Structures are given as C-alpha cells and as structure tokens.
Amino acid sequence: MSKKPKLYYFNGRGKMESVRWLLAAAGVEFEEEFLETREQYEKLLQGGSLLFQQVPMVEIDGMRMVQTRAILCYIAAKYNLYGKDLKERALIDMYVGGTDDLMGFIMMFPFLSAEDKEKQCAFIVQKATSRYFPAYEKVLKDHGQDFLVGNSFSWADVHLLEAILMVEEKKSDVLSGFPQLQAFKARISNIPTIKKFLEPGSQRKPVPDDKYVETVRRVLRMYYDLKAN
C-alpha cells in the first residue's frame, strides 16, 4: 500500500469530502482513485476491500478503512485534532455530530429534482439559522476562545467551517446575524493548512454538478429520486 493515505471515492464531495478536509487540515498529503465505472466498484467489492460493500474507503497505515465516522475519528486522533482528554473528545464528538446533521441535509441536495431543490434550499437555510448556527454562536461566545473546544484547533473546527461554506453556497449572507461565527470563519480559514486547501488547485472538490450525480447513479445503480424534507 502507498505510504500516503489513498482515498477511493467519486471525483466529487459526498461523504469523502470531510475526510479530504481533515487530512488537509492536518497537513497530510493524500492520493485519490476516482470511481468512474461500475466495473471499478465491483472490483473493489470482489477483492474484499469494502467490508460493508460501500465507499468511502481509505487505505491508511496498512488498513483499508470504511465507514466515514471511523475514518474521521482515526485521522483526528492520529494527527492530534481530537482534544487533549476524554471530556474534550466528548465535546468534539457532540459538535461534529450536530454539524453532521446539518451537512446531511446538504449532501442529498444534488440528487433532487429542480422543484425539490428549491424547497430543500429553503429548508437548509432555515435549519442552519434557527438551530445549528445559533448553537455554535452561543458555544463560541460562552467559551470565549478562538476554537470550539479547549483552546486548540480540532476536528470540530474543521467540520464546522466546511459546513458554513456549504451553507453559504446556498445563501451567501447566511452568517449576517452571527458575529461570532463570522470571526470564527475568518480565523479558521487563515490557518495555513486550511488556507492552502481553500486555494484554487487544491484537492477540495467543487459544488456537485450533473456529471458527478450521473457518475454516482451509474456506479451505484441509483435509479430512484430522493425527496426533500
């Protein structure tokens, strides 16, 4: 196996994007193999690489890891982005879990019909501004530090910034009522490894387009339409 982590997924965001973000935040170079055909996917299945018959899959430290949360936990722990003790780790898990809930509403968006996309966009913004962003605004205000947990950069900060930028793609001024989150976004975006990942030419993936959707549908044989909440 390669010494660099190797990521097996589509050439797009999906569940792998948070893995890319976390590796980039840690300053870790990684390789990618993009799934473009059903045959590639079946080869992984037949070779026994996909324990639960699904991607993402990451080759790292002699392991073939599946299950996104397990992959992210391992990377966070390996690169000291998972807090200094059990209490900090619990807070990081809690904040990441909340952010995951918000990101889940966005992840399904590219696969919706035009009509459902309009509804889902409004739903995403409503949930972000009424439930999730107020919670993080309060956490940052009460905590009084530059980061969400302790006074150190962690997985929770990386995940929240990723989510903020995803919601801003739906409504550019979504942070207008959240001064703490505006300052947080500016701080985290200027951390050198994050700043590099946000620059053009990085391995960060763009907003999913029709080509990405069609590739995922073809490889995974998804022939049904998802519905908005």
Rg (CA), the chain: 18
Mean pLDDT value of segment 21-50: 96
Span 92-97, mean pLDDT?
A: 98
pLDDT class of 222 with cuts at 50, 70, 90: confident
In a domain, 151, yes or no: yes
Same structural domain, 67 and 152:
no
Q: How far apart are the first and last CA of the chain?
A: 41
Query: Six-digit token pair at 159?
Result: 């995940």
Strands (E), the chain: 6-9, 31-34, 57-60, 63-66
Q: Provide the number of structural domains found in the chain.
A: 2
Residues 184 and 163 in one domain: yes
Residue 190: count other Cβ atoms within 10 Å of its Cβ.
Answer: 10
Q: Tell me the torsion sign for CA atoms 177, 179, 183, 188.
A: negative
For tokens 């995403």, the residue is: 124
* Residue 117 structural domain: 86-190
DSSP 184-217: HHHHHHTSHHHHHHHSTTSS---S--HHHHHHHH
**pLDDT score at 223:** 60
Does residue 229 lie in a domain region? no
Task: Tell me, yes or no, whether 152 and 203 share the same domain.
Answer: no
Mean pLDDT on 95-103 = 97
> Can you give the pLDDT at residue 229?
45
Average pLDDT over residues 185-191: 98
Tokens representing 148 are: 């969400």
Residue 1 lies in a domain: no
What's the CA angle centered on 93, arms 51 and 212, to 5 degrees? 50
- Based on the fold, state whether residues 167 and 202 are members of the same structural domain: no
pTM of the shown model: 0.94
Question: Does the structure show a pLDDT above 80 at 2?
Answer: no
Let me know whether 47 and 108 are in one domain: no
Residues 90 and 61 in one domain: no
Q: Which residue has the tokens 């982590």?
A: 5
* Angstrom distances, CA of residue 132 to CA of 19, 128, 146, 200, 204: 21, 5, 18, 29, 24
pLDDT at position 172 over 90: yes
CATH classification at residue 35: 3.40.30.10
Task: Give the number of other Cβ atoms within 10 Å of residue 1's Cβ.
Answer: 11
Cα 161 to the center of its chain, rounded Å: 9
User: Which among 94, 166, 87 is positioned nearest to 128, based on CA atoms?
Assistant: 166
